[in-house]
Amino acid sequence: MRDRPASVPETPPAPGTWRRVVRLFMPYRGAVCVLVVLIAVYSALNAAVPLLTRVVFDRALFGPGGPDLPLLALIAGLAAAIACAVGAVDLGQTWLSARVAQRVVHGLRAEMFGRLQRMPLAFFAAERGGEIQSRLAGDTTQIEYAVKDTLPGALSGLIGFVVAAGAMVTLSPVLAGVALILAPLVLLVASRSGRALSTLSADGQRTRAELSSIIAERLSLGGVTMARVHGRRQEEAAGFTAESERLARLGVRSGVVAQLVLSVGHVFFVLTPYLVFVAAGLTGGITPGTLVAFTVLQARLYQPLWQILHISTEFRSAQGAFERVFGYLDLQPEPEPRQSPAPGPGALAARGAGFRYPGTGEEDRPALYGVSLDIPAASTTLVVGPSGSGKTTLGHLLAGLHPPTEGAVVIDGTEFGAPLPGRICIATQDPFLFQGSVADNLRYAAPGATMDDLVRACRITRIHERIAALPDGYDSPAGERGALFSGGERQRIALARALLADASVLVLDEATSALDPLTELKVVEAILAERAGRTTVMITHRFGVLDSFDTVVALEEGRVVEHGSRLDLLGDRHGLYARMVRAQTGAA
Ligand SMILES: Nc1ncnc2c1ncn2[C@@H]1O[C@H](COP(=O)(O)OP(=O)(O)OP(=O)(O)O)[C@@H](O)[C@H]1O
């Protein structure tokens, strides 16, 4: 299993994270302003009730003339009206804040997905699947929880605090001063604990991502098979358990730190009223009505304070998630192609093209270098070479999947370095079939294809009989990554999909490698016949019996070492192609 440091070193919060969080709300500033007004109204209405209580005590109940029933009835009516208004305003503010929060989180998710789609393929080769899943689904969910409660909570906390403190100062400035004397201590503890919480949160998010990666990789069909074949089930379970325990420990520590803040706050809330009573006793001249109103207002003061503490701990806990999401949003995507080449017959060329995979050092040889080739329109070209010689890399360059890191790749006279759907298509050795029906998978290349089109393509790639024999025919499910089909069947379905794309250039990168040699020969011949008049490039190791190609390109160690007609290259007894054909066919 993976190695991990026993504990991730404390990292200070990334500078600018909070500024970026605030910026997320900028497009909704109008709604946020309305929210502020609603919350202010809500807080003012809430603060009015204790002031009514003061009138009840000092005038309506215990006034000089005894109980004043009409005044009591009036106050009861007013209190009922205020309660209704508070309910309505509360509903409005909940709707608005939920809307803003959901929009912000939806925007983050959509932007992150879009950014990832534009990342170079090398990013997906290096990044773990679980990591992407964890950031896109897990981190955004944590942000959603934080943002949903935070926006209204922080605003109502602040406004509620100001309104309640203002009302308390109006009643008695001295008692208000005493009530707030311990507040700085609580804020200090909150700020210290907040920093610890952010670190714990970042560590927690990383551990969650590690768990997701283990699940995605080791609980896949391939991962489970590998563990069973090599008898490593217990080690796999132990690796997962260790990460899970680590997450559990982090969860406990975060819970304790968060509770520390809340507990200090609690002591403050319990202690302060008694300090106020003592102060009232010492100063004298405070009416019972003022003291009752003051006591009610104190509760109203603590609630927002409590809310602010609670939110600050929650937000600090979400800091790690924000940083990981922003980390993906800062990734450098592939540049968009400057111009789309004008339509043409499909003549390809490489001009001194080379490619170096990201992460390979300057001292390593590039995967491909100095490749200059002309592949005329409507020609058929075979690309051969030893394992690791750069065939797939060349295929990817010709299909626009990688832009060359030196030189250029050209179609019909125009340089390109990005996929050209509809003009160039590639079928690979390990094709991707998604969960859905066989027909869905085929129509991915040609959404408007009729059933006859599907059947025709599948007949060419010799897979129609197999699909037709399934209980639901073309509507049968393909399974996870096409797992309900054999490797050779998957390849033939993917080849049919590539034919349906009807591109002027088709690159076959070992796309028939899982077929038996006889079927492979028939399928390749049928594809070439179907594509007569269009350009086809085939990369393969099993070329010994393939004799219908115009041209052969032989690669060795990232360079083109032979390029010519098949018969010419066969004539060069010491040439790479001739030697490889002899090795395959057993010819002397
Ligand atoms: N994503 C990658 N990152 C780094 N190096 C890579 C990556 N993919 C391939 N390479 C390296 O680039 C070189 C050429 O690889 P490529 O897959 O093009 O060879 P190939 O001729 O198609 O091999 P094979 O016949 O085994 O499929 C190899 O040395 C390989 O290790």
pLDDT value, residue 6: 33
Which of 389, 401, 509, 538 best tests ligand 1's pocket when mutated (most atoms within 8 Å of CB)? Answer: 389
CA dihedral 125, 131, 137, 140 (to 10 degrees): -120
Q: Rounded CA gap, 318 and 497, in Å? A: 44
Q: Does residue 11 carry a pLDDT above 70?
A: no
pLDDT of 332 over the 90 cut: no
- Range scoring the smallest mean pLDDT among 246-260, 268-282, 402-416, 474-488: 268-282
For residue 560, pLDDT over 80 is answered with yes
Put the strands of the sheet holding 535-539 in their side by side order: 424-427, 505-509, 535-539, 380-384, 551-556, 559-565
On whether the CB atoms of residues 130 and 324 are closer than 8 A, the answer is: no
Distance in Å, CA 388 to ligand 1 centroid = 5
Least confident of 76-80, 97-101, 282-286, 411-415: 282-286
The rounded distance, in Å, linking the Cα atoms of 169 and 173 is: 4
Say yes or no to pLDDT of 85 above 70: yes
Instruction: Quote the pLDDT of residue 1.
Output: 39
pLDDT of residue 372: 95
Q: 9: which residues sit within 8 A by CB, 6+ positions away?
A: none
Higher-confidence position of 163 and 76: 76
| Cβ atoms of residues 353 and 407 within 8 Å | yes
**pLDDT given at position 494:** 94
Domains annotated on the chain, with CATH = 17-329 (1.20.1560.10), 377-391+416-585 (3.40.50.300)
> What is the band of 466 on the pLDDT scale with cuts at 50, 70, 90?
very high
Least confident of 98-107, 538-547, 569-578: 538-547
Determine if ligand 1 sits within 6 Å of the CB of residue 385.
yes
Report d(CA 349, CA 413) in Å as an integer: 8
Distance CA 157, CA 159 (A): 6
Confidence class of residue 338 from pLDDT cuts 50, 70 and 90?
low
Residue nearest to ligand 1 atom 16, measured at CA? 390
508 alpha carbon to ligand 1 midpoint, in Å? 16
* Bridge partners for 564 per DSSP: 552
Length of the chain: 588
Mean pLDDT is highest, among 137-141, 148-152, 277-281, 472-476, for: 472-476
Give the pLDDT confidence of 351-407 residue by residue, as tens digits: 999 999 987 777 788 999 999 999 999 999 999 999 999 999 999 999 998 899 999
Provide mean pLDDT across the span 403-421. 91
* Contact yes or no for 93/39 (Cβ under 8 A): yes
ipTM of model over 0.90: yes
Question: Confidence band (pLDDT; 50, 70, 90) for 2?
Answer: very low
Cα 381 to ligand 1 centroid, rounded to whole Å: 20
Q: Is the CB of 126 under 6 A from ligand 1?
A: no
Q: Are 535 and 348 in contact (CB under 8 A)?
A: yes
For 318, phi then psi, to 5°, come to -85, -5
Give the number of the atom of ligand 1 that is nearest the alpha carbon of residue 360: 4
